[in-house]
Amino acid sequence: MVTELTYTENIFAGTRADLLARISQQLKPKRFKHVQRVEQTAIDLAKRNDVDLEKASIAGLVHDYAKQRPDADFIAAIKQYHLDPILLDYGNAIWHGVVGAELIKHELGIYDEDILNAVRHHTTGAIYMSPLEQIVYMADYIEPQRDFPGVDEARQLAKTDLAKSVAFQAKHTLQYLVENGKPVYPKSIDTYNAWVPQYPNV
Q: What is the DSSP letter of 87?
A: G
Applying CB under 6 A, the span of 19-27, 45-53, 156-164, 180-188 interacting with ligand DGI comes to: 180-188
Residue 175 to residues 23, 125, 133, 168, 180, Cα–Cα distance (Å): 32, 15, 22, 11, 9
Among 140, 141, 157, 191, binds Fe ion (CB under 5 A): 140
67 interacts with ligand DGI by CB under 6 A: yes
172 interacts with ligand DGI by CB under 6 A: no
Applying CB under 6 A, the span of 4-12, 22-30, 76-84, 121-129 interacting with ligand DGI comes to: 121-129
Among 54, 64, 102, 133, binds Fe ion (CB under 5 A): 64
In whole angstroms, give the CA distance from residue 117 to residue 113.
6
Q: Residue 150's CB: how many other CB atoms inside 10 A?
A: 13
Burial class (CB in 10 A: 0-12, 13-18, 19+), 80: exposed
Closer CB to ligand DGI, 7 or 36, in the complex: 36
Q: How far is the CB of 189 from ligand DGI (least distance, A)?
A: 8
Closer CB to ligand DGI, 11 or 118, in the complex: 118
Residue 47 to residues 12, 40, 42, 52, Cα–Cα distance (Å): 21, 11, 9, 8
Q: How far is the CB of 122 from Fe ion (least distance, A)?
A: 6
